Structure 1
Amino acid sequence: MTTVDAPPPVTVSDRAAKRIARILAREPEGAMLRVAVNGGGCSGFQYAFDIVREREPDDLAIEKDGVTVLIDPVSLDFMRGAEIDFADELIGAAFRVNNPNATASCGCGTSFSV
């Protein structure tokens, strides 16, 4: 019998991991990035990014290149299959969530609907 590892429910791009590492390097030891989905924004839901020191028991923890990204179970339902990326463009630098569950998104890149 062959066991196939399932793909992770959310991924973090190399660019995002590098930027997260730069941000967390200025924070106290053990800091992690929490990504959440909250109600609001111009499309119904919006992503929130926060630096935290505590991990909840039911959080999904994504480890990449020495950084940890946390996602709570309710947010994970909205983000399953998404990639957290970082874009550095002429109009600004920001984290982007490439979410296959989003049916529409706002020009700001942090608001979406399902």
Structure 2
Amino acid sequence: MTDAAVASNDVVLTDRAARKIARILAKQGEGTVLRIVVAGGGCSGFQYEYKLVKEVPANDDLVLSKENATVLIDSLSLEFMGGAEIDYVDDLIGQSFQIRNPNAVASCGCGTSFAVAS
């Protein structure tokens, strides 16, 4: 994880992801942040949702701030994402945010759906 900075609760936002998020947020207007939520559904049981929102962080939100990018993760989602790395990948297949989650025991090819051990 040489391209990353460790944040509280062991969630990591890589430099690549922070730069891309900052570019997206700059086009959205002041006060916009990226909220990542773990929701039920998807091919494998849970899925990541990415939302651009204008809101103040709640008391139980994890706030990741780096390179003019702000990411919010609520406490319930954080239970599923502890130790995860949020990255941005640009390769032959395309561009996307990827979450490498050590809690996921299975995932779908879409990259946003995952399952955890019960």
Q: What's the TM-score once normalised by structure 2's chain length?
A: 0.88
Count the aligned residue pairs: 109
Partner of 1:80: 82
Structure 1 gap segments, 5+ residues each: 1-5
2:14 aligned with 1:13, yes or no?
Answer: yes
Q: Quote the Cα distance in structure 1 between the aligned partners of 2:66 and 2:90.
A: 20
Q: Quote the Cα distance in structure 1 between the aligned partners of 2:75 and 2:31.
A: 21
Stretches of 4+ aligned residues off by more than 3 angstroms:
none
Q: What's the TM-score once normalised by structure 1's chain length?
A: 0.91
Structure 2 gap segments, 5+ residues each: 1-5
Note the alpha carbon deviations across 1:10-38, whole angstroms, 9 max, x for none: 11001100100110010110111000100
Q: 1:41 to 1:53 in 2, by over 3 A?
A: same
Matching residue's letter, 2:59: P
Secondary structure, counterpart of 2:99 in structure 1: strand
Greater strand content: 2
Partner of 1:89: 91
Given that residues 7 and 64 in structure 2 are in contact (C-alpha distance below 8 angstroms), is that contact kept between their aligned partners in structure 1? Answer: no
Q: Quote the Cα distance in structure 1 between the aligned partners of 2:112 and 2:87.
A: 12
Partner of 2:100: 98
Given that residues 47 and 114 in structure 2 are in contact (C-alpha distance below 8 angstroms), is that contact kept between their aligned partners in structure 1? Answer: yes
Q: Among the aligned pairs, what percent are the same residue? A: 59
Q: Quote the Cα distance in structure 2 between the aligned partners of 1:30 and 1:7.
A: 21
Instruction: Please state how far the C-alpha of 1:8 moved relative to its aligned partner.
Output: 2.4
Secondary structure, counterpart of 2:42 in structure 1: coil
Aligned positions of 1:1-114 closer than 5 A: 8-9=8-9, 10-54=11-55, 55-114=57-116
Select the structure of larger CA radius of gyration. Answer: 1
Instruction: Please state how far the C-alpha of 1:86 moved relative to its aligned partner.
Output: 0.5
Q: Quote the Cα distance in structure 1 between the aligned partners of 2:32 and 2:97.
A: 18
Secondary structure, counterpart of 1:78 in structure 2: helix
